């Protein structure tokens, strides 16, 4: 199999390939540069933090919505049958804490 290209075509091909090789080496140089590596690492960390924060927000929002649904009716009004016992419990716990603190002082 003989090469039917002219010397000028071969020389042009060599010049083109040298240009491609120079571009490839430049790209490799940028990729392995410490600033690039640090920048990529920072971007990955920020992305993971954003994902974690997003998941946490969704979980908290879901929990708050669930708790709210327990104490607020579909019409938006308070569900007294659930709020009154919780309020009484809170007052009772606060009273017990007050009595306990008063006894400690004596």
- 18-47 confidence digits (pLDDT tens): 999 999 999 999 989 999 999 999 999 999
CA angle 48, 49, 50 (to 5 degrees): 90
Instruction: Kindly state the greatest CA–CA separation across the chain.
Output: 109
Residue for token digits 């002082």? Answer: 105
Note the pTM of the prediction, 2 decimals: 0.47
| Per-residue exposure over 39-48, b if at least 16 CB sit within 10 Å of its own CB, e if not | eeeeeeeeee
pLDDT band at 85 (very low <50, low <70, confident <90, very high): very high
- Candidates 44, 66, 48, 45; CA nearest to 56 is 48
Say which residue, 103 or 16, is predicted with more confidence: 16
Is a pLDDT exceeding 80 seen at residue 3? Answer: no
Provide the sign of the torsion angle of the four alpha carbons 37, 43, 48, 49, taken in this order.
Answer: positive
- Tell me the pLDDT band of 2, cut-offs 50, 70 and 90: low
Which segments of 1-106 does DSSP mark as H helices, in order? 7-32, 34-71, 80-105
């Amino acid at each position: 199999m003989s090469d039917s290209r002219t010397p000028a075509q071969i020389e042009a091909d060599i010049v083109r390939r040298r240009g491609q090789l120079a571009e490839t080496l430049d790209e490799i140089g940028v990729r392995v540069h410490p600033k690039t590596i640090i920048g990529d690492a920072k971007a990955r960390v920020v992305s993971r933090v954003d994902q974690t924060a997003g998941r946490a927000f969704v979980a908290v929002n879901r929990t708050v919505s669930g708790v709210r649904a327990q104490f607020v009716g579909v019409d938006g009004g308070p569900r007294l049958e659930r709020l009154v016992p919780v309020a009484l419990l809170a007052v009772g716990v606060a009273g017990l804490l007050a009595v306990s603190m008063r006894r400690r002082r004596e």
